[in-house]
Chains A and B, each alone.
Chain A
């Protein structure tokens, strides 16, 4: 484990051992540059040093333009800036292709990282994120990256340009909500159901400006894929960050990818929380968020039978290896209902490659699915699965706002990959528990 250069070793040890501080207070105490060596407490406004700053083709072109307007020729640290071409990849129009060109030229001129064809948050998990980092992304779902014990949050393009210029950001130290999932997870219920349940309970503004820390035996047993799903959708409750602390599962994941933690941060046992939600998961069910808000959550039984036109398995929320494996197991030997289209968009090239090599892709295509290259396309309604007027989609993505996936007269129901697949087979919203093997 590294020692943060900005503060003394003594201060770092003292902060990490403090039982009265939340995860957010600890990590921001170590990252602050305005008053190094002073503990950052809830509601303090601090200036912090950023470890990684990323943007994508929906936000980077504007950030690049702003940086030019500021008259800044060189970014603060080319090793810490990562550009992703993922939102509309490969380009679906000439205008978008031109934006992609701007990004490629910028990356060459600045010497920063650029990747194309992997969903940004999944790529960050696979390649860059380690516990103890402060990560800022020009994308609201940057919270996903908290699944590896980092503090990761989203901003807009102008602010990203200021970070590229200075390596710093102002932040208000957030209050925290602790969500504890204990018990034995029933069959057919997944991380997606737990986060939909949570958003339904606390509402789409229930965690505004706050950090959600997830823990409990269920979370401790979750893979990084499942943890990423939890942290991803904290944004849908307005959260600044979603966190799963580092443990042996995090360590194994990092080791398999050849990375080491920066700092191991654990919330203090006597830390003060805005709210603590303790949930026994034993009675949990598969849940669905109904149009047009993510907190409009009902048990799948209440919406069973609603006919669908499209089933979408993709996005930064749910298109990882674990999700594709669940899907393949359910779909093997079955067919997608005639008249319904199943679109599968793997989250990254490595996930896609695994699916191709391990018969997952075969099973999906035998069943009638269309597999697209990794992109955010359908989820944001730009390409690879845009909805027409009057169409209904069940989706493993994160938002069901009016017009999100296409026509303002279309409807999006959000659910777990298993519920999406069960629905694709039935041709209507279906309970995945009837299709498990």
Chain B
């Protein structure tokens, strides 16, 4: 069982990759630490300073829309966020997040059930999201089994290093 616990940082619908990490930073660096400093800069330039290790991003629909830049989930992970919980994800962001070992959890109505600062607990193995501040328990969408295996290993690189094959092979 993998349990994650932390506070919620709330964002709206349609958070795009340009506000998560502007191209100007990702063009000049692939260093996660440097990317993390500018995470969510388009919305809140102070975000990376405020976030604590283990916190969650909680968002509405279509999180991560826009570009294919993997630096978006990399920046989020590197600034300490343990998972992104959203009502839906844009497709490339979703694939990228799982590939780099950042849980992208789809949970219906999550925006309504969680306020900024609420304490959240996520049971990754069972796909359960608990709002410890209100006691509300929610069920997340299940992912295909091979993606769960990849996430459990810590991402695509770690999975391949361990098993010498890709999870879908």
Q: Are B157 and A69 in contact (CB under 8 A)?
A: yes
Which of chain A's residues has its CB closest to B23's CB? A380
> Which residues of chain A have C-beta atoms less than 8 A from B146's C-beta?
170
CB distance from A44 to the nearest CB of B (A): 11
In the complex with contacts A47-B169, A154-B92, A159-B99, A404-B18 CB distance below 8 A: yes
Q: Is A158's CB under 8 angstroms from B42's CB?
A: no
Chain B residues closer than 8 Å to A70, beta-carbon distance = 157, 160-161
Chain A residue contacts of B50, Cβ below 8 A: none
Whether A95 is near chain B, meaning CB under 8 Å from some CB there, is: yes
Interface residues of B in 75-101 (CB under 8 A from A): 88, 90-92, 95-96, 99-100
Enumerate 10 A-B pairs (CB-CB under 8 Å) in ascending A order.
Answer: A47-B169, A96-B27, A137-B68, A154-B68, A155-B92, A158-B155, A162-B156, A166-B169, A204-B14, A205-B88
Interface residues, chain A, with chain B CB atoms under 8 Å away: 34, 45, 47, 57-59, 61-62, 65-66, 69-71, 87-88, 93, 95-96, 99, 137-140, 142, 154-159, 162, 165-166, 168, 170, 204-205, 208-209, 238, 240, 293, 380-382, 399, 401-404, 408
User: What residues of chain A lie closer than 8 Å to B65, measured between beta carbons?
Assistant: 204-205, 238
State whether the Cβ of B144 lies closer than 8 Å to any Cβ in chain A.
yes
Give the distance in Å from the alpha carbon of A66 to the alpha carbon of B166 in the complex: 14
Given contacts A159-B99, A240-B91, contact A399 B18 (CB under 8 A): yes
Query: Which chain A residues lie closer than 8 Å to B43 at the CB level?
Result: 402
Decide if A58 touches B26 in the complex (CB within 8 Å): yes
Q: How large is the interface on B (under 10, 10 to 19, 20 to 34, 35 or more residues)?
A: 35 or more
Smallest CB gap from A63: residue in B: B70
Top 7 nearest A-B pairs by Cβ distance?
A156-B70, A156-B96, A205-B62, A401-B18, A380-B23, A170-B168, A95-B28
Residues of chain B with a CB closer than 8 A to A157's CB: 70
Taking A57-B27, A140-B92, A399-B16 as known contacts, 5 extra A-B pairs with beta carbons closer than 8 A to each other, sorted by chain A number, are: A61-B30, A155-B95, A158-B70, A162-B156, A403-B41
Q: Is the CB of B90 within 8 A of A403?
A: no
B18 close to A205 (CB less than 8 A): no
Q: Which residues of B are in contact with A by a Cβ distance under 8 Å? A: 14, 16, 18-19, 22-24, 26-30, 41-43, 61-62, 65-71, 88, 90-92, 95-96, 99-100, 144, 146, 155-157, 160-161, 166, 168-169
Complex Cα spacing A71 to B160, Å: 10
User: Which B residues lie within 8 Å of A162 (CB)?
Assistant: 99, 156, 160, 166
Considering the chains assembled together, what is the distance between the CA atoms of A70 and B168 in angstroms?
16
Residues of A within 8 A of B23 (CB): 58, 87, 380-382, 404
**Which of B28, B71, B88 has the most CB atoms of chain A within a 10 A radius of its CB?**
B28
Residue in contact with B144 in the complex, picked from A45, A61, A204, CB distance below 8 Å: A45
Interface pair B157/A382, CB less than 8 Å apart: no
Give the interface centre of B42, B71, B92, B100 by most chain A CB atoms within 10 Å.
Answer: B92
Cα-based distance from A58 to B27 in the complex (angstroms): 6
Contact status A208-B166, CB under 8 Å: no
- The answer to whether B91 touches A208 (Cβ under 8 A) is yes
Contact B30 A156 (CB under 8 A): no
**Cross-interface CB contact of A402 among B18, B144, B157, B169, cutoff 8 Å:** B18
By a CB distance below 8 angstroms, the chain A residues around B66 are 140, 399, 401
B157:A238 contact, CB within 8 angstroms:
no
The answer to whether A62 and B62 touch across the interface, beta carbons within 8 angstroms, is no
Cβ of A205 and Cβ of B70 under 8 Å apart? no
Nearest residue (CB) in A for B18 is A401
Contact (Cβ within 8 A) B70 A62 = yes
Once bound together, how far apart are the Cα atoms of A142 and B67, in whole Å?
A: 11
Interface centre among B16, B61, B67 (most CB of A within 10 A): B67
Q: Are B69 and A156 in contact (CB-based, < 8 A)?
A: yes
Min CB distance B35 to A, Å, is 11
Q: Once the chains bind, are A401 and B155 in contact (CB under 8 Å)?
A: no
A77 to B156, CA, bound (A): 21
| Chain A: minimal CB distance from B104 (Å) | 12
| CB-based nearest A residue for B28 | A95
Q: B89's closest neighbor in chain A, by CB? A: A208
Pairwise interchain contact B156-A208, C-beta atoms closer than 8 A = no
List, in ascending order, chain A residues with CB within 8 A of B155's CB: 158
Select from chain B the residue with minimum beta-carbon distance to A95. B28
Closest to B67 in A: A140
Residues of chain A within 8 A (CB-CB) of B30 are 61-62, 65
